[in-house]
Structure formats: C-alpha cells, structure tokens
Amino acid sequence: MQLEVNSRNMVTLSPIEQTEFQVYAELFLADYAAEIESNYRYSAERSMAQAKQELADDLPNGLETPNQFLLSIKNVDKITIGFLWYTLYDQGETAYILDFILHKQFRGMGLGKASLKALEQQFGQSEVKQIKLRVAGDNVRAFKLYERMGFDVTGINMIKHLDHKPAQVDLEFSYQRAKSGAVLISHHGRQVTTLRGKPAAEFLKKVEKLDFAGEQQLMARATGNYKRGNERKAKNHPKNM
C-alpha cells in the first residue's frame, strides 16, 4: 500500500519479515522501557523487565501470534524507516495501535503522517471503522501528530506518586533540659529517667539532629523502653510497674 503525501514522501506498509523482527523488538524494548521508567518512576532494570514481559505476553508466538499485525514502514527508496504494530478487536471493527515508531533520522519529514494515512487507506477495504491508540503524556510530538490526523481525546490516564515516609509514631516520650545540664525524660507525662554528665551531653548532641520519630526512638533507648528496634509497652517497663 503506497500513499503519496507530496512529491517527496511515499511510504509502503508491509508485514515485518523475520529478519527485521529482532531489530524491531530491540527498538520496542528500549523505547517502552524508557517510557515505563519515566511515567512510573521504576528503576531501569524493573522497567526493562516489565517491557520484556509484556512483549512476551502479547507475542507468545512471535510473528505467528494470531491477531497481531506488525508492519514495516519503508520509504520510496525501500529503506525501512520505522515500524507499526496493531491488533483488531470488536469483531474486527476496531484497530488498536500498540506501537508506532519512526527512526529518528526520518522524523519531522511528514513520514509519520504518511504512515498513518497509508494505514487508513489499508483499512478502507476492511471492516475496520475506527482506530484507537494510547500516547504517553510527555510525548508532545506524537500527540500533536495524532491531533492533526483527526484523533480525538477520549480519556486521560493520570497517576500520583506517593512518597511513603516512615510513620511519625508518637511513643509519648518527652524531655526537658535542666539548668544543671541534666536531661529529664518523661513517658506518658511521668518522669522515668534522668541523664547527667556525659550521657546527657551525648543525648542532646544526638537529639538535635533527629526528626520526631528519631527523637522518640532515642528516648526509648535512653529509658530502656526499646528492644530490637521496637518499643516495649510502657506498662511493662520496670519503672512503670
């Protein structure tokens, strides 16, 4: 299928040959893993592992997988300039573009538009009534191309990344610094420990660098109300019995 967009641009869409599939797979994995890492803030290793797993799930039999159409895009010089992958559903009435990529050196030349037009012409002799796709939120170039080609926005995927910080657990410790330099530590409002001399000085030096949770843990240690990283209940503390 050829479509002449102007006197310079013509593209041909044809099934990917086995010799091209490995080239495409490497491009897909690199591009998709980068998208996953950017959008979901996964590590590079986790992003690549997910991309590989999804490719294996979608194409368990490679190019022989039913209802998966992988096309090579070639220019007038019969040079492969990119790839397009789609599937059909709704009894063949909907085509969903799973991937569409042009090599960088062929971008900005109208070839992306030519490729989509060629695909539309190909569907003109089929049961396909609509084309759907998903575009990454940060892929401005692709979004503008699809808008120019008449695609409408039907929804927007959104995500909020949660910053899971350690809970600020209140163990109900507090302390006071006496004029003598001693440190008075209380639990549930009841004084349970007094630090003097070097221990008091070391406590004050450490506590000023800690957040609230760290302060609570430091006081728990100082009172003996701490074991293996977990506070014991105050009622079990010898000084509270």
Inter-helix orientation angle 18-40/44-58, to 10°: 130
To 5 degrees, how large is the angle CA 24–CA 28–CA 29? 120
Give residue 43's pLDDT band: very low, low, confident or very high (50, 70, 90): very high
233 against 16, higher pLDDT: 16
Q: Is the pTM of this model over 0.85?
A: no
Across the range 221-237, mean pLDDT stands at 54
Give residue 236's pLDDT band: very low, low, confident or very high (50, 70, 90): very low
Across the range 95-99, mean pLDDT stands at 97
Query: Residue 167: what pLDDT?
Result: 62
- Per residue in 130-166, pLDDT (tens digit) is 999 999 888 899 999 999 999 999 988 888 888 766 6
Query: Residue 85: what pLDDT?
Result: 97
Is a pLDDT exceeding 60 seen at residue 68?
yes
Is a pLDDT exceeding 80 seen at residue 183?
yes
- Per CATH, the homologous superfamily of domain 2-148 is Gcn5-related N-acetyltransferase (GNAT) (3.40.630.30)
CB-CB neighbours of 151 under 10 Å: 16
Query: Residue 125: what pLDDT?
Result: 83
Q: Domains of the chain: which residue ranges?
A: 2-148, 173-240
Residues linked to residue 86 through DSSP beta bridges, in sequence order = 69, 97
CA-closest candidate to residue 137, choices 118, 113, 153: 153
| Residues 116, 75: Cα–Cα separation, whole Å | 13
| Residues 36, 201: Cα–Cα separation, whole Å | 50
| Residues 181, 223: Cα–Cα separation, whole Å | 18
CA of residue 22 relative to chain centroid, distance:
25
Query: Residue 123: what pLDDT?
Result: 95
Query: Residue 241: what pLDDT?
Result: 38
Contact 80, 74 (CB under 8 A): yes
Contact 220, 190 (CB under 8 A): no
Give residue 69's pLDDT band: very low, low, confident or very high (50, 70, 90): very high
165 against 227, higher pLDDT: 165
Is a pLDDT exceeding 80 seen at residue 191?
yes
Distances (CA, A) of 146 to 112, 122, 153, 160, 166: 10, 18, 10, 26, 43
Q: Which residue has the tokens 């310079």?
A: 8
Across the range 190-195, mean pLDDT stands at 91
Average pLDDT of the chain to the nearest whole number: 87
